[in-house]
Structure 1
């Protein structure tokens, strides 16, 4: 498994499943002739997008960032339409690290679109129950409001079966949650009204996880945003702000969806300084 150390924290990428979505939707108005030079595309114009949660360990805590696709959470039609070729191995990967799902103390959700949160729930005795029964699930207040009262657009990705079974575990925050020293979940908006990003700051080390506001390494350009974004101008503003912060601090940027890179550290000019690629 791929890992990254930032100060007091160790990050480990777990296998949460794989989708294949339309490349044009993932890059919005950017011409295919441009984005296809940076991200491979198949004959159906689909690009591979992983859904790999990040296990964050430090200060005696086991924290999961996102939850993956889970297992048995999609019907046959959804599997086909979403190009799901692999479901979750999160439980197996935790076991290889000497952990059980019950050992997860907290789950940090940047947002609650199905490809991030379906793995919060599992089937047990023909019932949908929490996959991480002892964990607190942290979500921004704005995301929860949208999730529980979706509009005509957002109802296609906010599914009741992904949040109702874990409702009692949810802990909401307004604009910022510092769960542990230097580890913060911050509401930004953009891709969704309530999306948040994660930052870790430890002395001279910084990590920024923008989730779907910077879905892959190919979205580094601040103007390259998804057609899936509900508030694209907000997505651009978030990227402008945090790319600037990241470059100035030579921060690591981490990814949940990228087919190739787990993390990239950019220098002050925005050029890659170090990279961590997904191992086979």
Structure 2
């Protein structure tokens, strides 16, 4: 598993499963000849998108960023439609670093779309139970409210089985919240109305996790936002603001979805200067 140390924080990428989503939808109005030069696609015009949650170890706490695609919850139709060739292996990944699901203290949910939140619960016989039973789950109040009362569009991605078993663990915030010294979550809207990003700063070292405002390295252009975004203009402005701040600070950009890079730093020309790549392998 790939790791990155940023000041006091250690990040480790866990196996959260994979989806293959329509490339056109993932790049919105960007023409195929442009985005396809930046990110590979298959013969169905789908791009590989990991759902690899990030273990964040900081000040003696074990946290995870988002929760993966889950395991044993998707039927064959959903797996086919979303190109799920591998489900989560979070418990196995944690075992490799000497941890269990019960050892997770905090879950930081950037938003609650199924590909981020499906791993919050797991089957237990005929029931669904919390995957991380001892964790406090942070998300924005706007996101939590829509999760429980989705509109006619969002009901396709906000699933009851992903919130009911964990509702007693959820803690919401309005604009921003400090999780630990230097570690904050910020409500941005854009991709979803309640979408949030995560920032960390320790001295001169920092990282930003922009979640689905910049889901992959190929979405670096501020104007390249998703057709899935509820408020694309907001996405553009929030993305540009966060990027400019991160470029100025020399921050790491860390990714949940990117199938090729775990984390990237950019130079003054906004070109990749440092990176942690994800090893490639064939799905069975």
Q: Same fold (TM over 0.5)?
A: yes
In the TM superposition, residue 120 of structure 1 has moved relative to its aligned partner by 0.5
Aligned to 2:274: 274
Paired position in structure 1 for 2:127? 127
Q: Which residue matches 1:187?
A: 187
Normalised by the length of structure 1, the TM-score is 0.99
Q: What is the aligned partner in structure 2 of residue 113 from structure 1?
A: 113
Where do 1:1-280 residues align within 5 Å? 1-280=1-280
Moved more, 23-32 or 143-152: 143-152
Name the SS of the counterpart of 1:166 in structure 2. helix
In structure 1, C-alpha distance between the alignment counterparts of 2:149 and 2:121, rounded to whole Å: 20
Extract unaligned runs of 5+ from structure 2: none
Per the normalisation by structure 2, the TM-score is 0.97
Matched-pair contact (CA < 8 Å) for 1:69–1:119: yes
The runs of at least 4 aligned residues of structure 1 exceeding 6 Å deviation read: none
SS in 2 for 1:158: coil
**Alpha-carbon deviation of 1:180?**
0.7
CA distance in 1, matches of 2:160, 2:127: 14
Aligned-pair CA distance for 1:179: 0.7
CA distance in 1, matches of 2:53, 2:244: 25
Tell me the distance in 2 between the aligned counterparts of 1:27 and 1:279.
24
Deviates more, 1:267-276 or 1:122-131: 267-276
Q: Figure out how many residues of one structure are paired with residues of the other and give that number.
A: 280
> For 1:240 and 1:172, how far apart are their aligned partners in 2?
26
Q: Cα distance, 1:276 vs. partner? A: 0.5
Distance apart, 1:71 and its partner CA? 0.5
Deviation larger for 79-88 or 141-150? 141-150
Tell me, which stretches of 5 or more residues in structure 1 are unaligned?
none
Partner Cα separation in structure 1 for residue 125 and residue 4 of structure 2 = 37
8 Å contact kept, 1:213–1:239: yes
Q: Tell whether the 8 Å contact from 1:263 to 1:276 is kept in structure 2 after alignment.
A: yes
TM-superposition CA deviations, 1:201-235 (whole Å, max 9, x none): 01001101000010110000000000000000010
In structure 1, how many angstroms separate the alpha carbons of the residues matched to 2:73 and 2:182? 34
Cα RMSD between the aligned structures? Answer: 0.7
**Aligned-pair CA distance for 1:129:** 0.3
Residues of 1 paired with 2:206 and 2:244: CA distance? Answer: 13
CA distance in 1, matches of 2:181, 2:206: 13
- Aligned-partner SS, 1:5: strand
Distance, in Å, in 2 between the alignment partners of 1:60 and 1:113 is: 29
